[in-house]
Amino acid sequence: MSAIAANFATDYQDARRKFCAAAAASGGQLRSYRNPTLGPDGGRLFMDTARFGDDGASNMLVLMAATHGVEGFCGSGAMVNWLLGGGPPRLPRNVGALLIHGVNPHGFAWIRRVNEDNVDINRNFVDHAKPYPPNDGYAEIAGALKPPAWDEPSLAAAQKVLDSYAQQHGAFGLQAAVTGGQYTHPDGIFFGGHKPTWSNRTIRAVIRNELGHARRIGCIDFHTGLGPFGHGEIIGIGDPALSAFARQKAWYGDELTSPQDGTSTSAVVVGVVMDAFPQEAPDAEFTGIALEYGTYPVPEVLEAVRRDNWLHQHGDLRSAQGREMKAYMQERFYPAGAKWAELVWARAEEVIGKAVRGLTA
């Protein structure tokens, strides 16, 4: 195994140990925020942060891992490689860095995208005092996405419903209905929640505590599951007509994609974690992107999410079926083998460099 791949973890606790050790060795100021739940091994779970640079640095680079739990292995490995590769001392003058590891530590530890409440963190940052965004498409296929049993007859009947929807609305229309976010089925997938989650409240506190002084913030949120194997797509955040998107374009160039204009592999989603930054640090100019790494074909990735949801609703985690479903889930969001890890880091190093240059432009 290469040195780069060795910095990627085998499980949540391994990831946390590697991150905290690398951050401490690099001179970071560490803080830990304990999640109220425990991992499958009974271990405690934390959102950990590490800050670098002058306390008063007006330009701040932010890297985030595990907004979607199991996807945290990708961002964690990239962060550890950045730390051990001398990233902090190479930061320009008046540029600091804040690394947020384990945004959703429960999902990270349990190999799930969702948190302890079955909530997708990246759909939870909506105004919960207002009516939730509708998703009529999800309501049409909700039963098929979570069949009563995981057997051939139930799956065949469910597939007919999904195929029919895809015939009417197209494959991307089906993806949008499934992944765009929904607020009507708490036991379903891509559920945005009915109140701010622990991760929502905690990351807002992190932003206020660590970034209140900043005048410019450049953020990269690491994700996996969409696109060609090992490729990191730079996904723009927000309306392409707004000035914030123009800054994203200036920083990242023509590779920047947008769900709103149809150039991204991602559907349009609402309530993303990035929304918290301008809300909690309103005096800062915020430029954020998602860095989305491809793994397997979209049908397999969505199948993994369906399996995991069914397992936690109806199955037995300790059974052979449960272990197989968890292995399938992890592989679809965190492919085994050194090659994928090396591709992740090569792209991350490039994109982090673009963000730093953008902050100093």
Write down the pLDDT at residue 1.
78
CB 171 within 8 A of CB 137: no
pLDDT, one tens digit per residue, over 162-184 is 999 999 999 989 999 999 999 99
250/246 Cα distance (integer angstroms): 6
| Residue whose tokens read 């060609």 | 228
Q: What is the pTM of this model?
A: 0.97
CB 229 within 8 A of CB 294: yes
Dihedrals phi, psi of 185, to nearest 5 degrees:
-130, 90
**361 residues of the chain, pLDDT tens digit each:** 799 999 999 999 999 999 999 999 999 999 999 999 999 999 999 999 999 998 889 999 999 999 999 999 999 999 999 999 999 999 999 999 999 999 999 999 999 999 999 999 999 999 999 999 999 999 999 999 999 899 999 999 999 999 999 999 999 899 999 999 999 999 999 999 999 999 999 999 999 999 999 999 999 999 999 999 999 999 999 999 888 999 999 999 999 999 999 999 998 999 999 999 999 999 999 999 999 999 999 999 999 999 999 999 999 999 999 999 999 999 999 999 999 999 999 999 999 999 999 999 8
**Domains of the chain with CATH codes:** 3-129+189-301+326-360 (3.40.630)
Helices (H) and strands (E) in the chain, counts: 13, 7
Write down the pLDDT at residue 195.
98
Write down the pLDDT at residue 361.
87
